[in-house]
Chains A and B, each alone.
Chain A
């Protein structure tokens, strides 16, 4: 095994081009488990810790450019206002020690259906900025997950950053597990309200081969909210609408039975989380809408 230690982003891209089988290592919280247990013996490890800019984030007008290696702890501490869904999701990852090392770049690299960043990214709307010596491109998050633990990266590409839409409305993240810390999701659900476009977006984790959006549920809800004038009148969402939304979210799942839970439990739980996160975010939206109306 060789340990490659590029000192700059350009060097990292060059190393990855020269050794496309090199396994990048950022926080190491996925990679090292595999190496410790001999599940993986890469020819090359490509250390990204020396590349300072991967730990930086920039808050722009409409989006946040989040460096691939920004640890979950920093997201929780610094980006709660801009990225509330991702900050909530980050807080549910593992433990403080893991959150101090692991980040969204590694979560996307692993592309596990159970990765907690994914539902939040899908719901908020995001693009993954990837680069190789051939150039840079942005992959819409909806196109990023291509299969179980597979993503759209080419062999010579590295993730530079994730561009995530800044929240312009309430966001929620919900996760089912056996305890509060150190839990891989049985299933998870992210939801974001986008008042300016009058849309709701969702993200489902651990209930299909890849993280997915519940698109039919979103379309149904967007139409129902529009039709009832809900965005303007700020009324409570009709229980029948919430139920239909929840059912459609459950139907968007394609889960399996495994040690963490059964397929039918996952489908059920996703429906419950969909209804709850919709209620929480909508109540919060109504609250702010009412304040603005009164002001």
Chain B
């Protein structure tokens, strides 16, 4: 079957999709977006986390056919998504005159850079914080954690440690022992509140 949906602001069409296929498989194997990782395929690890109509979900547990006509954001589009959000709320420090409306932000699409890889764009605050805090070791868990952490910071700009642990409780990391990940999210939250 064919599935039409929006990924990182761009309309995508996936062909020859098997009816039992997961969104994760479509993203990785059909659309060339390998950011979301495949580790367990059973919802346990969160490394495949993407946003579906804004909501963080395990893409390995969403049937491809269920995303028809819907919006998906993957880690590849996270930086642009975060930038549009900041601009939409009038906190954009670019030269653009006049605040982007929330509506515009919701209908954002990636420009200029290659939304396939996410390369060439400046990192989002949460991505930069993960690097600065040394929260990335093998990096396999990182895309899922970034998507989950970014969504939490969107909802809850001043999270407690308990809030962070709860928001990331669906994401496993086998390398870091989580302390550096906690530091990274605290750092991103602190920078975000300074920027206001």
Does residue A294 face the partner (Cβ distance < 8 Å to B)?
no
CB within 8 Å of B: which A46-91 residues: 47, 49
Does residue A94 face the partner (Cβ distance < 8 Å to B)?
yes
Cβ contacts under 8 Å, B65 to chain A: 3, 5, 45, 47
Cβ contacts under 8 Å, A96 to chain B: 56, 148, 166-167, 169-170
Does residue B42 face the partner (Cβ distance < 8 Å to A)?
yes
Does residue A143 face the partner (Cβ distance < 8 Å to B)?
no
Partner of A180 from the list B42, B44, B169 (CB cut-off 8 Å) is: B169
B69 to chain A, nearest CB (A): 9
Find the A residue at minimum CB distance from B144.
A97
Q: Are A33 and B19 in contact (CB under 8 A)?
A: no
CB within 8 Å of B: which A165-215 residues: 180-182
Does residue B22 face the partner (Cβ distance < 8 Å to A)?
yes
Find the B residue at minimum CB distance from A42.
B20
A76 to chain B, nearest CB (A): 11
| Docked CA distance A36–B56 (Å) | 20
- Beyond A28-B62, A182-B170, is A97–B49 a contact (Cβ under 8 Å)? yes
- Beyond A45-B20, A96-B148, A182-B44, is A3–B169 a contact (Cβ under 8 Å)? no
B18 to chain A, nearest CB (A): 7
- Beyond A1-B20, A45-B19, is A98–B63 a contact (Cβ under 8 Å)? no
Q: Are A181 and B18 in contact (CB under 8 A)?
A: no
Q: Are B61 and A37 in contact (CB under 8 A)?
A: no
Does residue A27 face the partner (Cβ distance < 8 Å to B)?
yes
Cβ contacts under 8 Å, B20 to chain A: 1, 35, 41-42, 45
Cβ contacts under 8 Å, B148 to chain A: 96-97
Cβ contacts under 8 Å, A45 to chain B: 19-20, 63, 65
- Beyond A28-B62, A35-B20, is A100–B44 a contact (Cβ under 8 Å)? no
| Docked CA distance A180–B165 (Å) | 11
Does residue B132 face the partner (Cβ distance < 8 Å to A)?
no
Q: Are A97 and B66 in contact (CB under 8 A)?
A: no
Interface size class of B (residues with CB under 8 A): 20 to 34
B56 to chain A, nearest CB (A): 5
Cβ contacts under 8 Å, B55 to chain A: 100
Find the B residue at minimum CB distance from A100.
B55
Q: Are A94 and B170 in contact (CB under 8 A)?
A: yes
User: Which of A95, A100, A181: most chain B Cβ within 10 A?
Assistant: A95
Does residue B58 face the partner (Cβ distance < 8 Å to A)?
yes
B24 to chain A, nearest CB (A): 9
Cβ contacts under 8 Å, B195 to chain A: none
The interface bits of chain A over 13-33 (1 if a CB of B lies within 8 angstroms of the residue's CB, else 0) are 000000000000101110111
Q: Are A28 and B46 in contact (CB under 8 A)?
A: no
Cβ contacts under 8 Å, A25 to chain B: 63, 66
A: which residues have CB within 8 A of B? 1-3, 5, 25, 27-29, 31-33, 35-37, 41-42, 45, 47, 49, 94-98, 100-101, 180-182
27 residue pairs bridging A and B, Cβ less than 8 Å apart: A2-B19, A3-B1, A25-B66, A27-B61, A28-B63, A28-B66, A32-B60, A32-B63, A33-B41, A33-B42, A35-B20, A36-B22, A36-B42, A37-B41, A42-B20, A45-B20, A45-B65, A94-B43, A95-B171, A96-B167, A96-B169, A97-B170, A98-B43, A98-B170, A181-B169, A182-B44, A182-B170
